[in-house]
Chain A
């Protein structure tokens, strides 16, 4: 696995909701050019999520995607792809399963880290995870999150929940600038990024992007082949020289 900071290649992370089709979808996303995958472990009350991922989570739970099934899904996905795999979930899931036990079992199933959307940086310091910072996060908290984060920092590019937006975030540039001033860890921007143009715009500022809701929607409505093409379109936009996309 390539260290995201080792070259100029912009990183592309794709979020998929855990489900029976996830291993196949993961393979398609990687074939399309995803560098890492986040696997959503659904929670009944996901505060950080907009309608697309919330509804995908409801459907996944209705199909029995509880923690044990999600871990099995993770292991099956790991058997199909070599990229980093990161379960993304909420604290209540870890509370129910046990924090240490969750990380142990997730790691055994092939997870390389975790993202817990509602676990602040101060809580559970022993739990390895990618930390999130937002436009509202003050500099000293960005520094703390960067110190504690596992590999890269997840920039929440706007004040809001997950989901596609029509326009690019005006808050991302300032957040990237503030983060760069306090840390050298790679910065991946997510929330509100769905089109290749938005991805290119965000990647011109950060070291890569996370795309969730639109990928979940395409995977759900059109299947693996369409997901592969969509991810390839994002990959292609990220491969455009940064200067060119930044001016668009």
Chain B
């Protein structure tokens, strides 16, 4: 299992956590070699989460292309986040950890985590910036209904960056009893590799579905990138197919890959929004899920190697794509994948698969206010 991606990745955390990361890595390796683990995950995916998710042609959205949408918005809880939360909850049980901590920005990962904790009877604490709690009240209420304790983070940016730091501090303090259920392919090794593998189901399904539908591989696959978990899962299915372009779409005001520099944030070395002194900068995006100054280390590696390309979408372009998909296809997307949809017309490609990573219910207030 990779712990570094070129010079990216690693385990930049206080010593207290290193043994827990070793333990997690060993448990993950053991689980991967255990057919029972795979079978349990496959069964949960089928009977609880709603996999496989469909691949939907979107002819009216983009008449000049052949566009397909990988429908992670139809997954239980409304976003791809559940793939990871389910897998890590099963892993936490194998580790004998009965308490889960997580961070959340928009609340999608928090809801997915609260959901699996309810399903498995685990104690659940979710850290969320107080500014995000104000903006995403329905998700705060959902987490409460599911039995999770949502702890407001009242300092710094009061958003995802600080919530993540606070979740890690909780883990440092309660490491003997607690599993940290990180929500994206970021953090110290082995987290980026675990999250990638748990999200790779998106790419595996999409690849076989597009072959079934079109009899060939797509020219390009496109996914939005905040921390980058839906993109890394989508890319995983196609990274070995050299003829398929991999395109990640960042929010223009949170372009860790497009405008960032090498730095260390939340346990790994990657491309981050930081100044020349290594101080982390604030990100800005209409989409809370992309409003993060870091990105998974494998994305930084894929960018440098040239295997994947990363472009930006502005808030206004994302809003336009949100409205266009709603009106042309009858699908209300989350603002995050709307960033990916906004780039489809520009691509020098005919057959395109976009990962529709989540549904837009959570974003209605934001969109209607514009």
State A161–B264 Cα separation when bound (angstroms). 19
Q: Given A91-B12, A123-B12, are A67 and B277 neighbors across the interface (CB < 8 Å)?
A: yes
B267 within 8 A of A: yes
Among A58, A97, A132, contact of B14 (Cβ-Cβ < 8 Å): A132
Interchain CB contact under 8 A, A118 and B14: yes
Interchain CB contact under 8 A, B15 and A47: no
Smallest CB-CB separation from A160: which chain B residue?
A: B173
Smallest CB-CB separation from B276: which chain A residue?
A: A96
Interchain CB contact under 8 A, A47 and B155: no
Q: How far does the Cβ of A117 sit from chain B's closest Cβ, in whole Å?
A: 6
CB-defined contacts of A136 to chain B, threshold 8 Å = 15-20, 175-176
State A61–B279 Cα separation when bound (angstroms). 9
| A-B contact list, 27 entries, CB within 8 Å | A43-B279, A45-B265, A47-B13, A47-B169, A47-B266, A55-B155, A61-B279, A66-B277, A92-B265, A92-B278, A96-B263, A96-B274, A96-B277, A97-B278, A118-B267, A119-B12, A120-B12, A134-B15, A135-B16, A136-B175, A136-B176, A137-B15, A137-B16, A138-B19, A141-B15, A156-B15, A159-B173
State A132–B12 Cα separation when bound (angstroms). 13
Interchain CB contact under 8 A, B176 and A159: yes
Q: Which of B1-22 contact A (CB under 8 A)?
A: 10-20
A222 within 8 A of B: no
CB-defined contacts of B280 to chain A, threshold 8 Å = 44-45, 92
Q: Given A43-B279, A136-B19, A159-B172, are A92 and B14 neighbors across the interface (CB < 8 Å)?
A: no
A11 within 8 A of B: no
CB-defined contacts of A95 to chain B, threshold 8 Å = 262-264, 269, 278
CB-defined contacts of A121 to chain B, threshold 8 Å = 15
Interchain CB contact under 8 A, A90 and B156: no
A246 within 8 A of B: no
State A50–B16 Cα separation when bound (angstroms). 14
State A138–B266 Cα separation when bound (angstroms). 23
CB-defined contacts of B262 to chain A, threshold 8 Å = 95
Smallest CB-CB separation from A89: which chain B residue?
A: B278
State A93–B278 Cα separation when bound (angstroms). 5
Q: How far does the Cβ of A159 sit from chain B's closest Cβ, in whole Å?
A: 5
B165 within 8 A of A: yes
Q: How far does the Cβ of A207 sit from chain B's closest Cβ, in whole Å?
A: 19
CB-defined contacts of B16 to chain A, threshold 8 Å = 134-137, 156, 159-160
Q: Given A96-B278, A141-B19, are A118 and B264 neighbors across the interface (CB < 8 Å)?
A: yes
Interchain CB contact under 8 A, B277 and A97: yes
State A161–B74 Cα separation when bound (angstroms). 40
Interchain CB contact under 8 A, B19 and A48: no
Interchain CB contact under 8 A, A117 and B14: yes
A54 within 8 A of B: yes
Among B14, B264, B265, contact of A48 (Cβ-Cβ < 8 Å): B14
Interchain CB contact under 8 A, B12 and A48: no
CB-defined contacts of B17 to chain A, threshold 8 Å = 136
Q: Which of A138-193 contact B (CB under 8 A)?
A: 138, 141, 145, 156, 159-161
Among A58, A94, A145, contact of B278 (Cβ-Cβ < 8 Å): A94
CB-defined contacts of A123 to chain B, threshold 8 Å = 10, 12
B168 within 8 A of A: yes
Additional A-B contacts beyond A93-B279, A121-B15 (13; CB < 8 A): A43-B279, A45-B266, A47-B165, A47-B169, A91-B269, A92-B264, A96-B274, A96-B277, A118-B13, A123-B12, A131-B15, A134-B16, A159-B174
B161 within 8 A of A: yes
Q: How far does the Cβ of A243 sit from chain B's closest Cβ, in whole Å?
A: 31
CB-defined contacts of B155 to chain A, threshold 8 Å = 54-55, 58
Smallest CB-CB separation from A54: which chain B residue?
A: B155
CB-defined contacts of B304 to chain A, threshold 8 Å = none
State A61–B156 Cα separation when bound (angstroms). 12
Q: Which of B255-271 contact A (CB under 8 A)?
A: 261-267, 269
B241 within 8 A of A: no
Q: How far does the Cβ of A216 sit from chain B's closest Cβ, in whole Å?
A: 16
CB-defined contacts of A117 to chain B, threshold 8 Å = 14
Q: Which of B10, B172, B175 has the most CB of A within 10 A?
A: B172
Q: How far does the Cβ of A79 sit from chain B's closest Cβ, in whole Å?
A: 24
State A55–B17 Cα separation when bound (angstroms). 23
B366 within 8 A of A: no
CB-defined contacts of B15 to chain A, threshold 8 Å = 120-121, 131-134, 136-137, 141, 145, 156
Q: Which of B80-100 contact A (CB under 8 A)?
A: none
B59 within 8 A of A: no
B275 within 8 A of A: yes
CB-defined contacts of B272 to chain A, threshold 8 Å = 92
Interchain CB contact under 8 A, A47 and B14: yes
CB-defined contacts of A90 to chain B, threshold 8 Å = 264
CB-defined contacts of B267 to chain A, threshold 8 Å = 47, 118
Q: Given A43-B278, A95-B263, are A120 and B172 neighbors across the interface (CB < 8 Å)?
A: no
CB-defined contacts of A97 to chain B, threshold 8 Å = 277-278
Q: How far does the Cβ of B7 sit from chain A's closest Cβ, in whole Å?
A: 11
Contact with B along A112-127 (1 / 0, CB 8 A): 0000011111010000
Contact with B along A188-231 (1 / 0, CB 8 A): 00000000000000000000000000000000000000000000
